[in-house]
Amino acid sequence: SILMLSWAFVYGQAQQSVDMDWWREGRFGMFIHWGLYSVAAGEWNGKPVDGIGEWIQNFAKVPNNEYEKLADKLTLAKYNPEEWVKLAKQAGARYIVFTTKHHEGFCMYPSEVSDFDIERTPYKRDPLKELVEACRKHGVKVGFYYSHRQDWREEDAAVMQNEYDGHYGKPKSEVKPNLDRYIREKALPQMRELLTRYGKIDLLWYDTPFDLTKEQSRTFVNVVRELQPECIVNGRVGYNLGDYGALGDNEMPCSRVNMDLEMVATMNHTWGYKKNDQNWKSPKDILCSLIECASRGVNYMVNIGPKEDGTVPQPSIDIMDFIGRWMQKNSEAVYGTTGNPFNDNFPWGYVTHKGNVIYLHLLREPLNRCIALKGLLTSITKAEILASGKKVTVTDQSYPVLTVPAHLNYDEIPVLKLVCKSPVRFSEDNYM
């Protein structure tokens, strides 16, 4: 679509100077948004504030000297990063990306560069260090989100259409941003902290490059290359300089793509926790999105927004558990696959494949329980339901026709696994 292309251009196509294998193989990640906005939880002065929760300071026009008081109430009282990592891992997610600093400017780790950091909270340790250790312990890759262009604490990183009078304690018209100063004296020094203190970091996730110059974006790539040469950089660093492209938030491509892309998605309508957003997508919807992404050849990173004490909202846990139960039996139809090799989309669901194997993910019963695979240039040697091993009938006409068993439970999204004689190839024209 035009929208997808535009995001791909803005946010960057893959440069691939680093090894992308684990990221491509993994296909599935878990995003964590946690900051002062988690304390506000979508309300200001007792009133609900519309819009994504991590933007609440901006939407409710809260001056910095009021907003910072939230730090007292970020208790982390039940913070146990191993539980987060286990939540990701049992669902089958292979990587976690954590907000070290979002647009609000608050550092979720002790920073020497700014005192607007975790040391203002009652928590007296470094939660970032503890999260990284938990990820390593459980073999989950770890990524850092860092808002490199927007930092609402800094006059020099103002995004003028968004800031408002009183934000910095003076009129907006008196703010003369010097973005280079912010980058030199805050953002890059903080990047150095993040990239030198925590051992190996697998992914750096920048956001909203907006009006950065190409040189400025390049410095954010370079600091990663210098300090962590194996670390993947996401596309939102700007100017096609990342290792993979990006879609918009919650944006799904509508056909297979032949570049490295990642969809980031919310489970409700916010990234940061909002107590008044109970508009959750269903577990099946989220699982379908993961599968749809895989069928487009795209990674899927789904977000959780923990509360200020570190607990994860129950609907998010339920969603991750639901995905985990499916992945336990069907993960080979996701990991290491590439997208739908057919020219078609299908009314019954999605297709992934790798090597000699095709996976048909069945969201609903095919018409007459029949699936015709027109244009397949190899023959099928084995066809079964992946989770149960139940055999599926294949009749060869000029193309294979499968008859799926009666009474499959489509709420469980059964996967039909087709082993072929040779690597899967399709005719350019399925209808000849």
Q: Does the footprint of ligand H79 cover residue 383 (CB under 6 A)?
A: no
Find the binder of ligand H79 among 7, 28, 34, 55 (CB under 6 A). 55
Q: Does the footprint of ligand H79 cover residue 251 (CB under 6 A)?
A: no
Q: Does the footprint of ligand H79 cover residue 261 (CB under 6 A)?
A: no
Rank residues 54 and 154 by Cβ distance to ligand H79 and give the closer one.
54
Angle at 233 between CA 231 and CA 238, to 5 degrees: 160
Per CB under 6 A, the segment of 52-60, 307-315, 319-327, 382-390 that binds ligand H79 is 52-60
Rank residues 54 and 156 by Cβ distance to ligand H79 and give the closer one.
54
Of all residues in the shown chain, the one whose CB is closest to ligand H79 is 271
Q: What is the largest CA-CA distance in the chain?
A: 76
H/E element, 137:
helix 127-137
Rank residues 6 and 328 by Cβ distance to ligand H79 and give the closer one.
6
CB of 289 to ligand H79, least distance (A): 15
Q: Does the footprint of ligand H79 cover residue 130 (CB under 6 A)?
A: no
Find the binder of ligand H79 among 18, 203, 264, 416 (CB under 6 A). 264
Rank residues 164 and 335 by Cβ distance to ligand H79 and give the closer one.
164
Find the binder of ligand H79 among 249, 251, 309, 332 (CB under 6 A). 249
Rank residues 30 and 408 by Cβ distance to ligand H79 and give the closer one.
30
Packing angle, helices 81-91 and 314-330, rounded to 10: 40
Cα separation of 10 and 22, whole Å? 25
| Helix/strand/coil for 416 | strand
Q: Does the footprint of ligand H79 cover residue 271 (CB under 6 A)?
A: yes
Contact 333, 415 (CB under 8 A): yes
CB of 49 to ligand H79, least distance (A): 12
Q: Which of 65, 60, 33, 26 is nearest to 46 (CA)?
A: 60
Query: DSSP string of 342-408?
Result: SS--BTTEEEEEETTEEEEEESSPPGGGEEE-TTB-S-EEEEEETTT--B-EEEESSSEEEEPPTT-
Count of residues near ligand H79 by CB under 6 A: 10
Find the binder of ligand H79 among 207, 262, 277, 308 (CB under 6 A). 207
Query: DSSP string of 178-199?
Result: -HHHHIIIIIHHHHHHHHHSSS
CB of 52 to ligand H79, least distance (A): 6
Rank residues 55 and 152 by Cβ distance to ligand H79 and give the closer one.
55
Find the binder of ligand H79 among 75, 90, 208, 427 (CB under 6 A). 208
Cα separation of 327 and 325, whole Å? 6
Q: Does the footprint of ligand H79 cover residue 151 (CB under 6 A)?
A: no
Residue 385: phi and psi, rounded to 5, are: -80, 125
CB of 207 to ligand H79, least distance (A): 5
DSSP 21: H
CB of 304 to ligand H79, least distance (A): 13
Q: Which of 390, 391, 349 is nearest to 366 (CA)?
A: 349
CB of 59 to ligand H79, least distance (A): 8
Q: Does the footprint of ligand H79 cover residue 37 (CB under 6 A)?
A: no
Query: What token pair was written down for 12?
Result: 């960057």
Rank residues 127 and 272 by Cβ distance to ligand H79 and give the closer one.
272
Overall size of the chain counted in residues: 432
DSSP 288: H
Binding site for ligand H79 (CB under 6 A): 51-52, 54-55, 162, 207-208, 249, 264, 271
